[in-house]
Amino acid sequence: MSRTAASRGVAYASNPLLEVKLPTWRSRLVLFLLFSAFFALIARALFLQVKSTDFLQKQGASRYTRNIELPATRGKITDRNGQVLASSVPVRAIWADPEDVRAAPAEKLSQLASLLEMSEPDLRKKLDSDRQLVYLKRQVEMPVAEKILALGIPGIEARKEYKRYYPEGEVMAHVVGFTSVEDIGQEGIELASEKNLAGKPGSRRVIKDRLGRIVEDIQAIREPHDGKDLTLSIDSKIQYIAFTHLKQAVEKHKAKAGGAVVIDVQTGEVLALVNLPTYNPNDRSVLTGAQLRNRVLTDTFEPGSTMKPFPVAWALETGRVTPDTIIETAPGVMKIGPETIHDAHKQGSLTVSQVIQKSSNIGTVKMALQMPPKEMWELFTTVGFGQQPKIGFPGAVAGRLRNHKNWRPIEQATMSYGHGVSVSLIQMARAYTIFARNGDLIPLTFEKTSEMPHGQRVISEKTAQQMRLMMESVTELGGTATQARVAGYRVAGKTGTAHKLEGGRYVKKYIGDFVGFAPVSKPRVIVAVMIDEPTTGGYYGGIVAAPVFAAITANVLRSMNVPPDSSVTSIIPDTSVQESM
């Protein structure tokens, strides 16, 4: 019976346990979803391959391509004769990927710290950063950079950059200035001519691996354009002459500071500009504000008697006096309202020429008070006092000259002999061009030029010639600056001595200055010298500044091959008369 049942068999579908009870729509839904997902993938692939190609390529490129800067070489600065005053030398900036470097052996990290001239703890502190790039040291000399890379420390790389080098060091510091580690001008000509000197950096696109190494150079995006070279009016030889003699004077008189400037009378070119104290722009590890100050341009002072030639010249120009007009200065004091002015010595009756030679305050005041305040104020502003010098040099100041509408008689009187007004040394040097150039005022420049400047007529040629003879007498026997004489050359100028102002009050500290030119027969250079707070050997301009003028002028005229115009063969001993203050 069992065999019969087996032969008949049982249909599989008829077994109630195996019967499919799922609805047919579910299978169709699954099939639909599968096809939908398939088509969605196709659509997404088409979208990515067609519409988003540019975006995806940019995203991919951002993972391995980099734009690297190609630094431009900063332009050279040279003196008027082509001697290099500032140039750029290639160096390296050492940077690191902290994550990679920290894994380096301790021995190599110690060697790296030694080459970077830092302690190992300081190095590890720099590497303790979440940033992907950390500068370890900038402007590393090439031999040192090569030794660092030779250590083979993963994550240590070097980038090309430039370091500024100044061959003349402290002698030229206040003219040339210096740049930052980013090669950006910070002082002097480096700052004033930053736009032209700096040039424009370029860039290139490269492929880097994950360690930051360049594996392929793709294309140049922008080629670098090197900065333009700049030729200054400065003469390195004359600069050194001025620096040497100024330094000797500052040390001799134990002065706080000093400054000197040499100007070419014919072109207005600044041939030398020196300041003390100074600094070495190649080593700025220890700097103070006093060292950085370009005193010739930025410091103002009451010029004292060096101001006297201007009101005297205007009195001559307007016909109020002649060189031989007698002016009574006795008894050596003069009352103006409740105030009293003095001469250093009782002089009695003086000619106008002697007023300049003896440096009489009273004689100068009597001429100045003959003119309306506005007239005297216009003369001062015309020659540049109270005006910021337009010389394209950072930090040049205007000084102080109040409007004539506010002048009282005593103020007009004191300003005529250089008190109550402040100027910079370069302002005073430029103003003296009206005496050295037959009456016209010219602009100054720190760039070499072959063009003759267009001057502004201030006084007549006759008046300028008369003033030259008067100022020449200042350096002769009986004058206040016999120590300004130069063997073989006729020189002219004026001494100045003034109390310093501190907290709005005059104190027993002095500035002695001298401004002059040579040779008198055909002036070639103007030299202005200022000694700030001399403490030994006197403080009058004729004692502390005039000898510096003489030493600088003598050497400058010879270096420029200016023919002598005098038979004087020796310098007169110190018998100078003290000028009134």
The residues annotated as belonging to the active site are 305
From residue 575, how far is each of 321, 338, 571 by CA, in Å? 29, 35, 11
C-beta of residue 72 within 8 angstroms of C-beta of residue 198: yes
Peptide bond into 373 cis (omega under 30): no
Q: What is the largest CA-CA distance in the chain?
A: 171
Measured between its terminal Cα atoms, the distance across the chain in Å is 153
| Tokens encoding 278 | 């100074």
User: Which of 400, 399, 402 is closest to 412 using CA atoms?
Assistant: 402
Helices 409-416, 373-382: inter-axial angle, 10-degree rounding? 40
Q: Which residues contact 239 (CB under 8 A, 6 or more apart)?
A: 79, 168, 171, 172, 175, 271, 272, 273, 274
| Tokens encoding 285 | 């590890």
Does residue 52 sit in helix, strand or coil?
Answer: coil
Strands (E), 442-503: 456-457, 492-502
Q: Rounded distance, CA 395 to CA 192, Å?
A: 10
Q: Rounded distance, CA 234 to CA 175, Å?
A: 9
337, 342, 348, 350: CA torsion to nearest 10:
-90
Tell me how many degrees the CA angle 313-319-321 measures, rounded to the nearest 5.
70
Helices 409-416, 361-368: inter-axial angle, 10-degree rounding? 120
C-beta of residue 416 within 8 angstroms of C-beta of residue 368: yes
Give the count of beta carbons closer than 10 Å to the beta carbon of residue 288.
9
C-beta of residue 361 within 8 angstroms of C-beta of residue 415: no
